[in-house]
Amino acid sequence: MKLIEHFVNGKIIPGSSDRKGKVFNPATGEQESEVRLASKSDLDQAVEAAKKAFETWSAKPPLQRARIIFKFKELIEKNSDELTKLIVSEHGKVFEDARGSLTRGLEVVEFACGIPHLLKGEYSENVGTNVDSWSMRQPLGVVAGITPFNFPAMVPMWMFPIAIACGNTFILKPSEKDPSCPLRLAELLSEAGLPEGVFNVVNGDKEAVDAILENKDIKAVSFVGSTPIAKYIYENSAKNEKRVQALGGAKNHLVVMPDCDLDGAVNGLMGAAYGSAGERCMAQSVAVAVGDIGDELVSRLSKKAEALKVGPGMDKTSEMGPLVTKEHLEKVKSYVDLGVEEGAKLVVDGRNLKLQGYENGFYIGGCLFDHVNKDMRIYKEEIFGPVLSVVRVKTFEEAAKLINDHEYGNGVSIYTRDGDAGRTFASKIQVGMVGINVPIPVPMAFHSFGGWKRSLFGDSGMHGMEGIKFYTKLKTVTSRWPSGVRTNAEFVMPTMK
Ligand code: NAD
C-alpha cells in the first residue's frame, strides 16, 4: 500500500514514527494509502530546516521571491488536472468543484506575486526638523499552518503563498484525511525554484499539532478547522507567545425575503447547501423563510433536492459526491435522526441512498428539514453535510435577531429586491462575510476571509492585506543625520521640534 511521507528540506523524507493513518477513496470506500503521522522529533527536524532556510530566504529581494511564486502559479495551471484528481480521490467532491477550489487557491498565489508592491511601507519627511520617519514590514521567521480536510489545496493556499512571499519559511500540517494534494504542491514549489527548507509538509495528527504549538522557533500559527480545535490552537499558541489566527466552524443562514427573485434564491441555496456535500465552512445550512414565502420555498427546494444527482466525484454528471469518511457519514446520518426526534419535518430524506457499483462509498442523498426552530440541536450545531434546515420567521427583524443570536458568524446571505433591506442587513448583521443576492460570499484573494464570533479566534482574517499584516511585523524608524549641530542628552519624553 502507498505510504504518504513528509516533505522536508526540498525532498520527501521518511518519518521516524511508526504511527500511520488511513486514507480512503470516499467514492469507493476503499483504503488507498497510508499516511505517516509525525512525532515531535519529525516536526522539530522540519523546523530546523525552515529556520536555516529563513536566513537566506528572508534576505532575498521581494521581487526575486515574487518570480518564484509566479513560476509556481504557472506550474499549478499546467498541473491543474492532476491536482484536481488528487483532491477528488481523497476528499470525494466532484471534479469541477474541486477544480474551482484549486482556482480560488491559485488566486491567492496571483495576489502574492504582487509582493514588492504589497510590502511597501510609509514614509514621512521632516516629522521634526531634519528628522524623517518610515515604516516597513518584516517577516516573522518560521510560521506554521494547520488545515482541515475540506479544502486540501485552497485552505493551505490561503496561507503559504503570502507567508513565503513576505519572506517567512513555512511548515504545513495538512489534514491527515487527504494529504496527497498538499504534498504535490510542495513538489511544484521546489520545481518552481523555491530553495530547500522554505516550504515543508509534516503529516500528522494531534501529536504533530502539539509539537507545533510547543516549538519555540515557530513564531505564528494559522489554523482552519472546527471550533473546539480552533479555540485550543488559539489558547495554546498565545500561551506559547505565538501570533495566531484560528478559523473555526460555522452555521450559515440564507435569508429569503418575500420580494426576492425566488428562482435565484432556490438555485443559490441548492448550490450553497448541497455543493461539496455541505462540507464547506461557507455552506448555507439554514434557509430563513420570511413572511409567507415558506411553503413555496420548501416546495421548490424539495423537488430539486430529490432530483440531486449523487455519484462519484470523477463522474462528470455527478452534482454531489460522497462524504469524506465513513465516520463522518455516520455522524451526518445521526444528525438527521436527531432532527426527526426533535420534531422537525423531514421533507427529503437522503439517508437510504445506495449507488449501484459503489455500495461501500460514503454517500448520502440531500436532506431537507422544514419547521426547524432555534432550540433544536440540528439548528444550533454544525452538521457539515448535505442537510438544509428551513426556519420560518414572520419579519426581517426576527430573521436578523436569529442570526445575530447564533454562536457562529462566518457567512450569511440575503435574497431581496429591496435595497434598504439589503443595506440594513449588511450594516447590522453580526457576521464576518455577507452576501446580497449572492449565495456564498467568499471574498476574493485581494480582500480578506474571516468570520466573527466563534468562527474566528484572533484578530486577522486570511489573505488580502490582513494576510500581509499577519505574516509580517511592523518596524518604524525615526532618523536624523547630524548637520553640524550637536545636541546634549535629553531626559524628557521626546517631542518633535
Ligand atoms: P478538525 O478541527 O477536525 O481538523 C482540523 C485540523 O486540526 C486537522 O489538521 C487535524 O489534524 C487537526 N486536529 C484535529 N483534532 C485535533 C486535536 N484534538 N488536537 C490538535 N489538532 C487536531 O476539522 P476538519 O474536520 O478537518 O474540518 C472541518 C471543520 O473545519 C468544520 O468545522 C469547518 O467549518 C471548518 N472549516 C472552517 C473554515 C473557515 O474558514 N472558518 C474553512 C474550512 C473548514
pLDDT for 245-293, tens place per residue?
Answer: 999 999 999 999 999 999 999 999 999 999 999 999 999 999 999 999 9
| Distance of CA 50 from the midpoint of ligand 1 (Å) | 24
Ligand 1: nearest atom to the Cα of 177: 26
Q: Are 277 and 382 in contact (CB under 8 A)?
A: no
Element (H, E) at 412: strand 411-415
- Give the residue, out of 19, 226, 408, with the most ligand 1 atoms within 8 A of its beta carbon, to mutate for a pocket test: 226
Bridge partner list, 369: 346, 389
Compare 385 and 482 and report the one with higher pLDDT. 385
Average pLDDT score over the chain: 97
- Domain boundaries for CATH 3.40.309.10 within the chain: 252-436
Element (H, E) at 480: strand 472-480
Residues 284 and 304: their CA atoms lie apart, in Å, by 16
Distance set, CA 212 to CA 54, 91, 158, 167, 196 (Å): 17, 25, 19, 20, 20
Residues 30 and 284: their CA atoms lie apart, in Å, by 30
Q: Are 88 and 125 in contact (CB under 8 A)?
A: no
Q: Report residues whose beta carbon is within 6 angstroms of any ligand 1 atom.
A: 146-151, 155, 173, 175-176, 205-206, 209, 224-226, 229, 247-250, 281, 382, 384, 410, 451, 455
Number of CB atoms found within 10 A of residue 309's CB: 10
How is residue 214 annotated by DSSP?
Answer: H
Tell me which residue has its CA closest to atom 35 in ligand 1: 225
Dig out the grid coordinates for 317 from the structure: 454528471
| Distance of CA 150 from the midpoint of ligand 1 (Å) | 9
Which pTM does this prediction carry?
A: 0.97
- Domain boundaries for CATH 3.40.605.10 within the chain: 2-248+455-477
The CATH number of domain 2-248+455-477, selected from 3.40.50.300, 1.10.540.10, 3.90.45.10, 3.40.605.10: 3.40.605.10
How is residue 359 annotated by DSSP?
Answer: T
Answer whether residue 487 shows pLDDT above 80: no
| Distance of CA 6 from the midpoint of ligand 1 (Å) | 20
Instruction: Write down the CATH number for the domain with range 252-436.
Output: 3.40.309.10
Q: Are 272 and 439 in contact (CB under 8 A)?
A: yes
* Banded model confidence at residue 486, pLDDT cuts 50, 70, 90: low
* Banded model confidence at residue 484, pLDDT cuts 50, 70, 90: low
Q: With b meaning 16 or more CB within 10 Å and e meaning fewer, what string describes 37-48? A: bbbbebbebbbb
Tell me which residue has its CA closest to atom 20 in ligand 1: 206
Tell me which residue has its CA closest to atom 11 in ligand 1: 205
What pLDDT, on the 0 to 100 scale, is given for residue 319?
97
Bridge partner list, 134: 123, 477
Side chain identity at residue 175, one-letter code: S
Ligand 1: nearest atom to the Cα of 146: 9
- Is 166 a residue of the active site? no
What pLDDT, on the 0 to 100 scale, is given for residue 159?
98
